[in-house]
Amino acid sequence: MDDTYIVYIRIDGQSRVLEINSSAFLADTTGWTQIDEGWGDRYHHAQGNYLDGPLYDDNGIPRYKLDRGRVVERTEEEIAADLAAMPEPEHGPQEQMQAAVRLARMQAQSLPDAQALEVPELYGLWAADTAYTEQYIVRRPGGQLYRCQQAHTSQTGWEPENTPAMWAAINRSNAGTLEDPIPAARGMEYQYGLYYLDPEDSHTYRCTRTGEAEGGTVVLQYLPHELVGQYFEEATV
């Protein structure tokens, strides 16, 4: 007759089975509880063969318990209670980074214009079919920032550069001189007599119009090079 093997388990304070093993592999059985004995592979390799299923479920919760000297499956209610009591898993580096980016983007909405211009990558691109609140900042392809002037739900054709009544371009504080021209943008407010740098051709233009006094302003949906002879003249160095 084959050798007889004794099956042992280790349990916690709630009688949940934490480990199962065989006398074939245990030199010291201190802390273990004997539950059965027999011969054959079921007893010899009790770790994987004695129970009808895995010792733990997919959430790492014990599936068996010791009840009146017998190992039985725990109820669904008992397992559910263990699952509910498990601590929330710690967020990994990727989740933490994503949360930090979301927080930074929320905080960026309260920045004044000068600071917003230092971190344009924190602002989301303008999108159609989106509800925008007053003072909300968006970014357009190329990096130009705009601040919402009145709450609305956007739609195709209402891009910030096309709707100056709804959006105001955010630009750096430049002197507006020939040496320090103001970066131009569609939909921005121009001042007669100041110089502007066109982002498309990198030329400098002076805002001027017959009959308009220097210091007056006008909102234009076009760039300076598109309105030469009407609102702008190209500057010569």
* Number of structural domains the chain divides into: 3
Q: Give yes or no: residues 98 and 163 share one domain.
A: yes
CB contact set of 198 (below 8 Å; sequence gap of 6+): 184, 204, 205, 223, 224, 225
Report pLDDT for 186. 86
Q: Which of 18-22, 76-80, 85-89 has the lowest mean pLDDT?
A: 85-89
**CA separation for the pair 14, 32 (Å, rounded):** 15
Q: Is the pLDDT of residue 30 over 70?
A: yes
Report pLDDT for 97. 87
Q: Give yes or no: residues 113 and 163 share one domain.
A: yes
Q: Give yes or no: residues 196 and 161 share one domain.
A: no
Report pLDDT for 114. 83
Q: Give yes or no: residues 119 and 142 share one domain.
A: yes
Among 85, 107, 134, which residue terminates a domain? 85
pTM assigned to the model: 0.46
Report pLDDT for 237. 67
Q: Which of 13-22, 139-148, 167-176 has the lowest mean pLDDT?
A: 167-176
- 20 falls in which pLDDT band (50, 70, 90)? very high
CB contact set of 26 (below 8 Å; sequence gap of 6+): 8, 32
- 102 falls in which pLDDT band (50, 70, 90)? confident
Q: Is the pLDDT of residue 2 over 70?
A: no
Query: Which amino acid does the sequence have at 59?
Result: N
Contact of 207 with 231, CB cutoff 8 Å: yes
- 188 falls in which pLDDT band (50, 70, 90)? confident
Residue 176 lies in a domain: no
Q: Give yes or no: residues 9 and 79 share one domain.
A: yes
Residue 203 exposure: Cα atoms within 13 Å on the Cβ side: 14
Report pLDDT for 217. 92
Structural domain boundaries, residue 144: 93-170
Nearest to 144 by CA among 170, 166, 163: 170
Q: Give yes or no: residues 131 and 147 share one domain.
A: yes
Q: Is the pLDDT of residue 194 over 80?
A: yes
Q: At 127, which CATH number? A: 2.10.10.20
Q: Is the pLDDT of residue 1 over 80?
A: no
Q: Is the pLDDT of residue 31 over 90?
A: yes
Residue 153 lies in a domain: yes
Among 85, 106, 121, which residue terminates a domain? 85
**CA separation for the pair 157, 60 (Å, rounded):** 54
CB contact set of 225 (below 8 Å; sequence gap of 6+): 198, 200, 201, 203, 205, 232, 234
Q: Give yes or no: residues 66 and 113 share one domain.
A: no
Residue percentage of the chain with pLDDT more than 70: 97
Residue 129 lies in a domain: yes
Q: Give yes or no: residues 118 and 188 share one domain.
A: no
Report pLDDT for 92. 76
Which tens digit of pLDDT belongs to each residue from 207-229?
Answer: 999 889 888 999 898 999 999 99
Q: Give yes or no: residues 80 and 128 share one domain.
A: no
For range 36-58, the mean pLDDT: 90
**CA separation for the pair 159, 140 (Å, rounded):** 9
Residue 177 lies in a domain: no
Residue 175 lies in a domain: no
Residue 224 lies in a domain: yes
**CA separation for the pair 178, 182 (Å, rounded):** 9
Q: Give yes or no: residues 188 and 120 share one domain.
A: no
Q: Is the pLDDT of residue 106 over 60?
A: yes
Among 119, 143, 170, which residue terminates a domain? 170
Q: Give yes or no: residues 193 and 141 share one domain.
A: no
Q: Is the pLDDT of residue 89 over 70?
A: no
**CA separation for the pair 138, 145 (Å, rounded):** 6
Report pLDDT for 78. 95
Q: Give yes or no: residues 56 and 114 share one domain.
A: no
Q: Is the pLDDT of residue 107 over 90?
A: no
